């Protein structure tokens, strides 16, 4: 039976190229017919008893159960493909669609298709690795751009790529240069000694695509996987400065130093536990810098009370974070030896900071950097702070302007 594949060096450059084109067309027709046969005949495999029980109960599968499902799908696809370990994109899509149509609860938050598809692709890669010296495997690797001696990616690197692949599937264009930056960030982030000069350079170069992804409502956890250095206070503040041309740490220090006395004296704080704790601690110290720091910390914690707003959306003191919007977690605020300040986003700690000034700056910056809408019950507090940070006249209601007068606020001269 004649082969449809041209033999290497058979023609010595003399064969008619129209013949080669005909052979390519024949291969295309055969592949197309095989794909049509696949879609008409494919059904999900018979899963093991424990997997069937889990699917019947519609329980969210844990990691080990996911692996078992993927293993059975991979084995079944290989059987349908008569031993081939290279399914087409359409065949991957068919299998995952069949899985999610039969069991819709596996489509987690609408992202399940991409996650299961990536997991299935990774499984085929894993199966191919022991035979990576096989002629077909090598031919396909070089066909898709792999080079000899190329370093394998770790499992963590592969997991980090899941959402990047999803973004590509959804036609948000990430060019190869951006991919290279993302891979570099992920590798550099886990190093003990980091090249901060190169980090600054690459963060500036990827600012545009990062803003596009954030503006497109890419989930925060995926942004942080692609750009992990946004979890560092320094890079968070630098990103804010690139966006606004404003040194937020300098501005925040000025706000707390200028207004802490007026804010603390303007409030009726007789029964406030934070104010009571402040007074007790101040009796134990005489150092002016220490007392000043305590007052600024108290101001940071009590600022929403000035405007009668919900302080639990602003700062949580010695308690568990319950809100998804940016919020500060503060432990032992007036004990300078063991106090802790952390910024939380989506109930997960984003970063730890050194003091109340850095904490307040990080809170404000996070709303801007990650494109998060201000909670309605915190709007006057954040508007007041941004008025001071950006040196703009206050556009707020008469009641808010009265509050500003109480704390000694002066509008900038324009």
The partner residues of 317 in beta bridges, in order of sequence, read 330
Q: Distance between CA 319 and CA 81 in Å, rounded?
A: 56
Q: Distance between CA 176 and CA 178 in Å, rounded?
A: 5
Q: Distance between CA 13 and CA 349 in Å, rounded?
A: 64
Given a cut of 80, whether residue 186 has pLDDT beyond it is yes
Q: How far is CA 55 from the centre of its chain?
A: 29
Q: Distance between CA 320 and CA 340 in Å, rounded?
A: 14
- Confidence (pTM): 0.56
Q: Distance between CA 11 and CA 14 in Å, rounded?
A: 5
Provide the residue count of the chain. Answer: 414
pLDDT digits (tens, 9 = 90+) for 32-77: 444 445 555 668 888 888 888 888 888 888 877 888 888 888 888 8
pLDDT digits (tens, 9 = 90+) for 366-406: 999 999 988 899 999 999 898 888 876 544 444 444 544 55
Predicted local distance difference test score (pLDDT) of residue 43: 80
Assigned token pair, 401: 């302007």
Residue the block writes with tokens 């963060």: 203
Q: Distance between CA 263 and CA 256 in Å, rounded?
A: 10
Domain boundaries, the chain: 42-131, 175-231, 248-406
Q: Distance between CA 307 and CA 384 in Å, rounded?
A: 9
Using CA of residue 222, residue 226, residue 228, residue 231, what is the dihedral sign?
negative
Q: Distance between CA 12 and CA 90 in Å, rounded?
A: 36
Predicted local distance difference test score (pLDDT) of residue 36: 46
Selection from 373, 197, 384, 241 nearest residue 304 by Cα = 384
More confident residue, 103 or 198: 198
pLDDT digits (tens, 9 = 90+) for 204-228: 999 988 998 888 888 888 899 999 9
Q: Are 294 and 300 in contact (CB under 8 A)?
A: no
| Other beta carbons less than 10 A from residue 370's beta carbon | 18
One-character DSSP codes across 95-125: HHHHHHHH-GGGSGGG-HHHHHHHHHHHHHH
Q: Give one word for 268, left, alpha or beta, with left for phi > 0 and alpha for psi -120 to 50.
A: beta
Q: Distance between CA 84 and CA 71 in Å, rounded?
A: 15
pLDDT digits (tens, 9 = 90+) for 341-371: 999 999 999 999 988 999 999 999 999 999 9
Selection from 127, 108, 119 nearest residue 70 by Cα = 119
Lowest mean pLDDT among 151-160, 268-277, 280-289, 349-358: 151-160
pLDDT digits (tens, 9 = 90+) for 192-203: 888 999 999 999
Confidence of residue 189 (pLDDT cuts 50, 70, 90): very high
With 0-12 CB in 10 A as exposed, 13-18 as middle and 19+ as buried, what is 383? middle
Question: In 202-339, where do the E strands start and end?
Answer: 315-317, 327-331
Q: Distance between CA 408 and CA 253 in Å, rounded?
A: 16
Confidence of residue 169 (pLDDT cuts 50, 70, 90): very low
Helix axes 89-102, 63-80, angle to 10 degrees: 130
């Amino acid at each position: 039976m004649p082969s449809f594949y041209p033999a290497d060096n058979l023609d010595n450059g003399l064969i008619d190229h129209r013949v080669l084109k005909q052979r390519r067309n024949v291969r295309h027709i055969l592949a197309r017919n095989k794909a049509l046969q696949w879609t008409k005949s494919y059904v999900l495999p018979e899963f093991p008893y424990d997997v069937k029980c889990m699917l019947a109960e519609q329980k969210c599968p844990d990691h080990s159960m996911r692996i078992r499902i993927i293993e059975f799908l991979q084995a079944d696809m290989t059987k349908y493909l008569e031993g081939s370990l290279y399914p087409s994109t359409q065949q991957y899509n068919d299998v995952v669609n069949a899985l999610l149509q039969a069991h819709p609860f596996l489509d987690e938050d609408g992202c399940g298709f991409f996650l299961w598809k990536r997991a299935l692709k990774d499984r085929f890669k894993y199966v191919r690795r022991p035979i990576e010296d096989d002629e077909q495997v090598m031919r396909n690797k070089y066909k898709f751009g792999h080079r000899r001696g190329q370093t394998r990616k770790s499992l963590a690197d592969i997991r980090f790529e899941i959402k990047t692949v999803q973004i590509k599937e959804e036609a948000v264009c990430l060019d190869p240069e951006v991919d290279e930056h993302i891979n570099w960030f992920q590798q550099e982030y886990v190093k003990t000694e980091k090249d901060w000069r190169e980090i600054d350079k690459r963060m500036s170069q990827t600012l545009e695509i990062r803003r596009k992804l954030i503006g497109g409502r890419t989930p925060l956890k995926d942004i942080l996987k692609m750009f992990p250095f946004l979890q560092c206070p320094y890079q968070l503040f630098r990103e804010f400065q690139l966006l606004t041309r404003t040194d937020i740490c300098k501005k925040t220090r000025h706000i707390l130093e200028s207004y802490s006395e007026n804010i603390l004296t303007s409030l009726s704080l007789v029964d406030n536990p934070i104010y009571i704790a402040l007074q007790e601690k101040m009796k134990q110290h005489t150092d002016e810098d220490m007392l000043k720091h305590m007052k600024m910390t108290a101001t940071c914690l009590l600022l929403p009370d000035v405007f009668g707003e919900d302080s639990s959306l602003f700062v949580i003191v010695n308690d568990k974070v319950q809100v998804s919007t940016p919020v500060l977690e503060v432990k032992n605020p007036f004990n300078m030896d063991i106090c802790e300040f952390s910024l939380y986003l989506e109930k997960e700690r984003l970063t730890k900071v050194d003091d109340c000034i850095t904490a307040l700056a990080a809170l404000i910056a996070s709303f801007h950097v990650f494109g998060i809408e201000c909670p309605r019950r915190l709007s006057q507090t954040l508007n007041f702070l941004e008025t001071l940070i950006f040196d703009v006249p206050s556009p707020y209601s008469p009641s808010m302007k009265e509050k500003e007068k109480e704390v000694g606020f002066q509008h900038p001269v324009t």
